[in-house]
Amino acid sequence: MNIKYRKMSPSVVKSLVSLLVCLALLKAANLLFYGSSEDGPRDQARVLRCSQPWHIFPTRAYGVDKDSPRYKLNLSIGVNQLNKYLYSREQLAAPNLAAGSLYIEDVFLAIKSTHNNHWSRIQLLLETWVPMAKTSVYILTDGDDPSLAANFGNGSRYVNTKCGASHKDKDLMCKLQVMYDLYMSKIEQYKWFCSVDDDTYINIPNFVKMLREYDHDKDWYIGKPSLNHIYSVKEYQLCDLFLLVSLKHMSCFRNGEFIKRGEAINNPDDTAIGYVCNYLLGVPLTSIPEMHSHLEPMWQIDPLDYHKQISISWGEVVASKVIVIPNRLSIRDEIPQFPVSVDPTRAYTFHCHLFPKSDSCRKIQDKLGALPDA
């Protein structure tokens, strides 16, 4: 039998080699961040901890001997102090709690979402920090959802903006405009305005404690830059979690004016906020280190500092064209935790670490299973 072989062209050879290299990199990345198939879901957190890409994102040294017997004790001290902090008017009758002049009920707290994220994201927030904020939370989305609306005052704090569901600038600015107009209609009820994305966990006691450090009768733009540079054209900064107060200077941005500002700079909602505050109103960004967006590597946060954080997030970090790193907290063995298979964002574990005796943590354990001893 005569078999004839056709010589492959150099371009075909090059393409095959590139394909093999990509497959090898993907396999290496999978083993690096998730471990081998023998590890199983319960060991994924351990593998991630042992294989963090410090060469991609440098981090500070913790400065704590994590093998010390005092480490677990130090973890509990911060959590105990957090749970004693008064943040809601409902706690005023509680013993041994000092009263404050501002409470979570004084904050208009809006969550931006989209209909496709209701089950995957909003449900998680409802099961963790949202119950601590109670009537302060509004959800602004782009579709009807009667079951979810029932969790927000029978729909009074659930707003179908009628905006588009895409992540395009126009649709994002549309939601911001509806959010801002809603706030202005209720401005007499609140001292602060806050907007967060639906992939954000807010530590409510620390959130209120931080706000008490600022005079709500003055103009503030508070958050943390989501990019490490300032826009050069107008020299303004933007952040993923922002607060605006004393908005008497911003009343002119009602009824579609925010949308016009976003269109003028051809940028989305968070950038438009930075543009309006920094450039038009001259209110600089007050950066808070304890606020974190999904653009930061969460594993850099020291577990000893978990109780100090105001917000965390989760998602993915794109390290290269072929490597995507899960962006989540790196929970140490000393902290009781749910398996990554049922808590991929680590938000459930984070919440129960901060508030282990809360009703919400008890309900989470009823759903996911009891937390194992550390």
Domain membership of residue 95 (yes or no) is yes
As annotated, the active-site residues are: 270
DSSP class per residue in 315-354: EEEE-SSS-EEEE-----TTS----TTT-TTSHHHHHHHH
Which pTM does this prediction carry? Answer: 0.77
Q: What pLDDT sits at residue 365?
A: 96
Q: What pLDDT sits at residue 46?
A: 28
Q: What pLDDT sits at residue 69?
A: 57
Token code pair at residue 16 = 């095959």
Q: What angle (nearest 5°) sits at the alpha carbon of residue 238, between those of residues 234 and 239? A: 175
With beta carbons less than 8 A apart as the criterion, state whether 272 and 176 touch. yes
Closest to 88 (Cα-Cα) out of 141, 125, 137 = 137
Q: What pLDDT sits at residue 133?
A: 93
Last residue of a domain, one of 255, 287, 319: 287
Last residue of a domain, one of 287, 315, 339: 287
Q: Which residues contact 348 (CB under 8 A, 6 or more apart)?
A: 124, 127, 128, 338, 342, 364, 368
pLDDT per residue as tens digits for the range 121-160? 999 999 999 999 988 999 999 999 998 998 887 778 999 9
Beta strands at 242-244 and 200-202: parallel, antiparallel or unpaired? unpaired
Domain that holds residue 35: 15-83+300-374
Say if residue 38 is in the same domain as residue 157.
no
Say if residue 156 is in the same domain as residue 269.
yes
Token code pair at residue 198 = 């639906």
DSSP state of 296: S
User: How many domains in the chain?
Assistant: 2
Identify the CATH number of the domain in which residue 163 sits: 3.90.550.50
Say if residue 272 is in the same domain as residue 374.
no
Residues of the chain with pLDDT under 50: 1, 3, 5, 28-63, 95-96, 229-240
Q: What pLDDT sits at residue 32?
A: 40
Domain membership of residue 6 (yes or no) is no
Q: What pLDDT sits at residue 218?
A: 84
Q: What pLDDT sits at residue 113?
A: 93
